[in-house]
Amino acid sequence: MNKISRRAFVTSASAAGLVGVSGLALPYYSRASQRPAFTHGVQSGDIDETSGMVWTRTDRPSRVMFEVSSTENFANATRLAPLDTSPASDYTVKRLLTDLAADQDIFYRMIAADLADINAVSEPIVGRFRTAPASKRDIKFAWSGDTAGQGWGIDETGMKTYATIGKHTPDFFLHSGDTIYADGAMKDEVDLPGGGKWKNVVLIDGKRKVAETLEEYRDQWKYNMMDRSVLGLSAICPTFYQWDDHEVLNNWSDSKDLSADDRYSEKSIHVLAARAARAFHEMTTIRYEPSEPGRVYRKIAYGPLLDVFFLDMRSYRGPNGPAMQETMTPQSRILGEQQTKWLKRELANSKATWKIIAADMPLGLVVWDDGAKKVGAEAVSNGDNGAPKGRELEIADLLRYIKNAGIDNTVWLTADVHYTAAHYYNPDKAQFQDFNPFWEFVSGPIHAGTFGPNDFDMTFGPELKFIKAPTAEQGQNLPPSAGLQFFGLVDINGATEQMTVRLMDRDDNELYKVTLDPVRSA
């Protein structure tokens, strides 16, 4: 059988089809069985030219057999050594597939055998991804953030934006953070403004309270993977994960004080963050970094036209506060010294035409630590519109370095603020001017409440080129059914090397489009 196209595979292995061949009626339906089963689909991620991560989960201790092929019928498939699942990792298993051909459709299949009865085997479950190219070709990827927040869970429609992204058959999906809402307890029904009810038709006990235990953090992930559209996209498209605050709890930093928060019996932010980080790495396809187990920041090389640099703006930050320090100290940083050194070095060494900096928070939007009182910096900007202070010092140093090192074609992608926008950072409009102009594109939420817009801080001179956010009449925290759920699409032309960025809504309407010409180094 010849290789089939990605679109043909999507058609034949839609969300329902993939779930069907895996033996799952729906992941949240319980069913008695003497044979093991895969409970939450498959995932792939962190794909490069020759390797990629894959993941699945079983319902019991199992031995998972893996086959890898370049054809859908698994002719001449490579069989890999099996891996065992256990309660220690909540029956999850992930591995790095290596020695793959570049720019190749890869199909992977898993079968689980019950460790207590090795002859009892599951139905197979399959997924696919495409490796990165070794030569110039067209590239398409999507990005968004903010899943299952503010009490908006799986209704009768489900997480529709995931399905809309899947229709574009992107090479990968970049999840910009707030991948779960561990602090977002859900109810069966929510009253909607103007009448009517939102019904969370799928709900588990782990989503009825804030996450504190390791099991409760794991449940946050498993809940998202109970949605058909999430399952369907994961089976056909790699996800590149980063995290922000809601993987632990809202606006967390070392200064987070839970003493007066009655929702939490565990008051240590450090204990909660450790449990959340373990669940994050167990439940996603993020690669393991031996030099710093648990690290989130990393670079994915996706061929000669694209490098993606994933930032972690959460783990190494100083405590949230006014962010008005006039000198850079560990308390004023948001990336941390080691991550900043890594980013500078990797950007300078990059030979790719385009350098995507995937940030889990925007640079020039004011995000308050206390939104009601409008005090404290949660993101980079401190809201004073002046020369760099606090966390802005680290970003100013980075932007100056990018300019002085002659690093061209950097584009920032982010989410976090729950609306979509295009920002052009212009040194002529900035208080700090020692940088080259660049673009920042904001997307999300993918399935959460819609908010905004946020105010600009003019330290780095952001110019608003486009925005779609709730109007004053619509108010805040709009449900996904209101339609203001957003994602972005990036297309890189293999011949011209131009980058086209489109901002989309969940109904697949194109809201904004811009084509960027690459700067050609002398």
User: What does the pLDDT read at residue 497?
Assistant: 98
Q: List, in sequence order, every residue forming a beta bridge with 350; answer none if it has no partner.
A: none
Dihedral of the alpha carbons of 514, 345, 45, 488, in degrees to the nearest 10: -10
In whole angstroms, how far apart are CA 246 and each of 211, 276, 381, 455?
10, 10, 20, 22
Instruction: For the chain, report the end-to-end CA distance as a whole number of angstroms.
Output: 47
Q: Return the pLDDT at 193.
A: 85
What does the chain come to in residues?
Answer: 522
Please give the Cα distance from 126 to 135 (Å, whole number): 28
415 within 8 A of 176, measured Cβ to Cβ: yes
What would the two tokens of residue 131 be? 């490796």
Q: What is the mean pLDDT of each run of 10 residues along the chain (522 residues)?
A: 42 40 36 82 98 98 98 95 98 98 98 96 97 98 98 97 98 98 97 92 96 98 98 98 98 94 97 98 96 96 98 97 96 98 98 98 96 94 97 98 98 98 98 98 98 97 98 96 98 98 98 96 66
Q: Domain 32-131 sits in which CATH superfamily?
A: Purple acid phosphatase-like, N-terminal (2.60.40.380)
* C-beta separation of 307 from 492 below 8 A: no
Looking at residue 30, its pLDDT comes to 35
- Structure tokens belonging to residue 357: 């900096």
pTM of the predicted protein model:
0.94
Supply φ then ψ for residue 300, to 5 degrees. Answer: -115, 120
Q: What is the DSSP-derived secondary structure letter of residue 76?
A: T
Cβ count near 32 (within 10 Å):
4
Q: At 139, list the tokens.
A: 């590239």
Q: Is 239 helix (H, G, I), strand (E, B) or coil?
A: strand
Beta strands 172-175; 78-84: pairing state:
unpaired
Query: What does the pLDDT read at residue 43?
Result: 98
Q: Domain spans of the chain?
A: 32-131, 139-516
Whether 379 and 436 have beta carbons less than 8 Å apart is answered as no
User: What pLDDT is stored for residue 68 in this prediction?
Assistant: 98
Q: Are 515 and 494 in contact (CB under 8 A)?
A: no
The pairing of beta strand 38-45 with beta strand 52-58: antiparallel
Res 330: pLDDT: 95
Q: Does the domain made of 139-516 have the CATH classification 3.90.1150.10?
A: no
Alpha carbon distance 295, 287 (integer Å): 9
R_g of the chain computed on alpha carbons: 22
CA distance 433 to 389: 14
Amino acid symbol at 100: L
3-state SS, 435-474, equals: CCCEEEEECCCCECCECCCCCECHHHCEEEEEEECCCCCC
Instruction: For residues 310 and 492, give the distance between their C-alpha atoms in angstroms, rounded to a whole number.
Output: 19
Helix (H, G, I), strand (E, B) or coil at 163: helix
3-state secondary structure 349-400: HCCCCEEEEECCCCCCECCEEECCCCEEECCCCCCCCCCCCCHHHHHHHHHH
What are the CA-CA distances from residue 64 to residues 120, 225, 333 (Å)? 12, 20, 43
For β-strands 306-310 and 354-358, DSSP reports them as parallel
